[in-house]
A and B are shown apart, each in its own frame.
Chain A
Amino acid sequence: MADPMKIRANVVGDSTEVKVLMSHEMETGQRKDAQGKVIPAWFIQSVTATWNGKTVLAAQWGPAVSKNPFLSFKFKGGAKGDKVQIAWVDNRGDKRTDEVIIA
Chain B
Amino acid sequence: MGAPATRRGGRSRGTRMALLCLLAAAPVLFAQTTAVDEIAKYRAALLEGNPAELWEVRGEDIWKQKRGPKQVSLQQCDLGLGPGVVKGVYARLPKYFADAGRVMDLESRLLWCMTQLQGMSDTDARKQLFGGGNDRKSDMEAMVAYVTSESRGLPMNVSLADPHEAEMYRLGEKMFYFRGGPHDFGCVTCHGDDAKRIRLQDLPNLTTKEGAQKAYTTWPAYRVSQGELRSFQWRLYDCFRQQRFPELVYGSDASIALTLYLARNANGAAFDAPAIKR
Contacts and interface: CB of A to CB of B under 8 A. Distances in A.
Direct contact of A and B (CB under 8 A): yes
Interface of A: 3-4, 6, 19, 21, 23-25, 67-68, 70-72
How many B residues touch the partner, as a band?
10 to 19
Nearest to A24: B134
A87 B51 CA distance: 18
Contact of B49 (A4, A21, A23, A25): A21
A21 B51 CA distance: 7
14 contacts: A3-B54, A6-B53, A6-B57, A19-B48, A23-B134, A24-B134, A25-B133, A25-B134, A25-B135, A68-B51, A68-B54, A68-B227, A70-B49, A72-B48
B60 to A, nearest CB: 12
B102 interface: no
User: Which 9 A-B residue pairings sit nearest by Cβ, starting from the closest?
Assistant: A70-B49, A68-B51, A25-B134, A23-B54, A67-B227, A6-B53, A21-B49, A21-B53, A21-B54
A72 B53 CA distance: 15
Contacts of B134: 3, 23-25
Interface string B46-63: 001111011001100000
Of the candidates B54, B57, B133, the one having the most CB atoms from chain A within 10 angstroms of its own CB is: B54
Interface string B119-139: 000000000000001110000
Of the candidates A6, A21, A67, A68, the one having the most CB atoms from chain B within 10 angstroms of its own CB is: A68
A9 to B, nearest CB: 14
